[in-house]
Chain A
Amino acid sequence: MTDLLRIGTRQFKSRLMVGTGKYPSDEVMIKALEASGAEVVTVAIRRVNLDKTGESLLNCIDINKYTLLPNTAGCYTADDAIRTARLGREALETNLVKLEVIGDEKTLFPDNEALLQAAKVLVKEGFQVMPYTGDDPIMARKLEDAGCVAVMPLAAPIGSGLGIRNPHNLMIILETIKVPVIVDAGVGTASDAAVAMELGCDGILMNTGIAGAKDPVKMALAMKLAVESGRLARFAGRIPKKLYANASSPITGLID
């Protein structure tokens, strides 16, 4: 049976979503996206540079191969996020949006109050909203109740690579939320991704963890394998943790 990730009206085989920012070059980015096996890639929405109007990410990303997920990164108010989401929908002809409303420049933590407000407006307008949120289970529930097609709690601050800082909150979110829970932000290396998946998260969205690695293409493959491994381990059922040893070899039949 194929283990599909269902988000709104779409379904995906890959549970790893990858950003397109901060790569050393477009060439490395394309190779990293390929190695990651991602089907969903996030993009930002920005003004066209009037001095270089020919520049476009469309020139290097195969839009027939990937589902583009426009984000509202850099928006500090609900209104700006709503405007950016509308522009993203028009530009990329998609109703998917990774909704971000940033509350603070230093931590890039979300402004959850404004996030919820924006989510409600966009859901009404027919968007399939995937909100970047904190790891607060109550807010996750409110976002689900507002009609979001996924909730995307951070594992740690964006770009920090600190890994899964609060696994217990993620566990509570996973217990209470029915829509997919995608860890968004903070994953630094493959073991972080595996831990998130072992906890039961439905997927992971990352950018810096891959783009900022010394070898982004190798890290993309590592993340792909870690997401798959973590998912398998989750359903394989790990052994209970014990304080003392439990011999693997028979304790009978030893030589005198």
Chain B
Amino acid sequence: MDKMTAVNVKVNGYDKILPQGVTLEALLELLGIKTQGIAVELNHKVVPKSAFPATIMRDKDAVEIIRMTGGG
């Protein structure tokens, strides 16, 4: 991918190179993650699901995608 048209983001601690202009919604689709039961934090701020389509990934963004798991 052309460096000029790519952005480097961290997703759950892993480096990902994405095309410029990719939205959060597209990123989740790319990763095969359905939005039901998940939450996303972008640079330490929770992004409401309604804002996924309009949220464009920027260089050096840190994304955390979480869901529930077994616990006490």
Please judge, given known A-B contacts A87-B39, A87-B66, A90-B39, whether A20 and B71 are in contact too, CB under 8 Å. yes
Inter-chain contacts of A44 with B (CB < 8 A):
68-72
Please judge, given known A-B contacts A21-B70, A91-B38, A92-B68, whether A53 and B33 are in contact too, CB under 8 Å. yes
Of A67-75, A194-202, A232-240, the segment with at least 4 beta carbons within 8 Å of chain B is A67-75
Picked from A22, A47, A50, A91, the residue with its CB within 8 Å of the CB of B70 is: A22
Q: Size of chain A's interface in residues, with CB distance under 8 A?
A: 38
With both chains docked as a complex, state the minimum distance between the C-beta of A213 and any C-beta of chain B, in angstroms.
Answer: 14
A57 close to B (CB within 8 Å): yes
Annotate A30-52 by CB proximity to B: 1 below 8 A, 0 otherwise: 00000000000011111110100
Query: Is there contact, CB below 8 Å, between B39 and A50?
Result: no
Interface centre among B12, B13, B67, B72 (most CB of A within 10 A): B72
Is chain A's binding surface mostly helix, strand, loop or mixed? mixed
Query: Is there contact, CB below 8 Å, between A43 and B68?
Result: yes
| Measured CA separation A70–B72 after assembly (Å) | 9
Q: Size of chain B's interface in residues, with CB distance under 8 A?
A: 26
Inter-chain contacts of A86 with B (CB < 8 A):
39, 41, 46
* Residue of chain A at shortest CB distance from B32: A53
A83 close to B (CB within 8 Å): yes
Picked from B11, B13, B41, B68, the residue with its CB within 8 Å of the CB of A70 is: B68
Task: Find residues 25-43 in chain B having any chain A CB closer than 8 Å to their own CB.
Answer: 31-33, 36-41
| Measured CA separation A68–B46 after assembly (Å) | 20
Inter-chain contacts of A58 with B (CB < 8 A):
36-37, 67-68
Inter-chain contacts of A83 with B (CB < 8 A):
41, 44
With both chains docked as a complex, state the minimum distance between the C-beta of B68 and any C-beta of chain A, in angstroms.
Answer: 4
Identify the B interface with A (CB < 8 A): 11-14, 31-33, 36-41, 44, 46, 48-49, 64-72
Closest 4 CB pairs of A and B: A44-B71, A207-B72, A19-B72, A90-B39
The 20 listed contacts between A and B (C-beta, < 8 Å) are A21-B70, A21-B71, A22-B70, A43-B69, A44-B72, A46-B66, A48-B12, A50-B11, A53-B31, A56-B37, A57-B67, A57-B70, A68-B68, A87-B41, A87-B64, A90-B40, A90-B49, A91-B38, A91-B66, A208-B72
Identify the A interface with B (CB < 8 A): 19-23, 29, 42-48, 50, 53-54, 56-58, 68, 70-71, 73, 83, 86-92, 158, 185, 205-208, 211
